[in-house]
Structure 1
């Protein structure tokens, strides 16, 4: 069985598969590509039944197939090449959340219920915990709070700043609770020519940023 994203090999054929506007690039004819293709068909059938306002039972049966295929894909992550596993899991979570948003529409039909949406969100949360959660540890959260407080107070260069995750009230609470440590971090930091501190956001690390985006996506999911 071929692994997804095998090592660079000119003889390996790749294909793209789109699941609810999320595009996966996979090794053609691999188990992963076959599973994704089946999932694409299952979801298209679910969507068609929903759009044609078929019975709740028919739509629900197809949604069960969709969830089952997503669970099989989640269980098959070991077949994904290590260097591409994060990308695959991220896309699987993104596409699953997009599917769950269509379930919200289906829930307007009497008899569909919300169990399948909750089940799908549980799959996503488990994927996140198993693959990403340990990277957003206490050190990460302290450094993000620190950077955003410094940004709010103008202690870092404007070109380094981005939209903040924490509210002003949360940042002030952080400073009140960690005043001594924050001052120590500031005193230990080098300064730029304009006097601002050479402290970067932990989100400058692309892998960490990807984890954080999934964290936010799950928090906002219905």
Structure 2
């Protein structure tokens, strides 16, 4: 299992000026065009898209893909709904074992795992459920795990201006499990560290010790 640390100046940022607070725009494609594309794929696989079991598959696939990428249609402003509060505390806040369901942008196959998020407040805190929702918003896009990890960290950094942010993502990629090298036991860990977590080894070690465990699917 690899552990990669993403420093702020090394983040592959898709949204340039304010990566955490903007969403990607898509060209207009009708749902019917999407269904026809799925039908073409079925034909290319040698299947009969008109047989009983596949007759409604194009519609189902399009509906599923829209749900699995619904994070493109969300914004942090709407998601937060004002749930940022002034609080005089500077102790670490940690939310761990947040279930992650995302999709690999290379093969559009599932990424399954969990996210651990910590931050050290500097006068502001965020509703705990919003941390999970931020992970969910970025997870419901076509993703690279490295980018997903950095986007979560950058979002909290922009929203709260805390003393530090740490994000650790542990995930199994079904493009590795089901095809290619076919290694079902392989897990990938990526981390993004900001502020005190990046600059202070003791703070970083405290975070890592709190989230250490053997990754497994429930």
Same fold (TM over 0.5): no
Point out the structure with the larger strand share.
2
The alignment's TM-score, normalised by the length of structure 1, stands at 0.28
Question: Which of the pair has more CA radius of gyration?
Answer: 1
Q: Could you say which structure has the greater relative contact order, defined with CA pairs below 8 angstroms and 6 or more residues apart?
A: 2
The alignment's TM-score, normalised by the length of structure 2, stands at 0.28
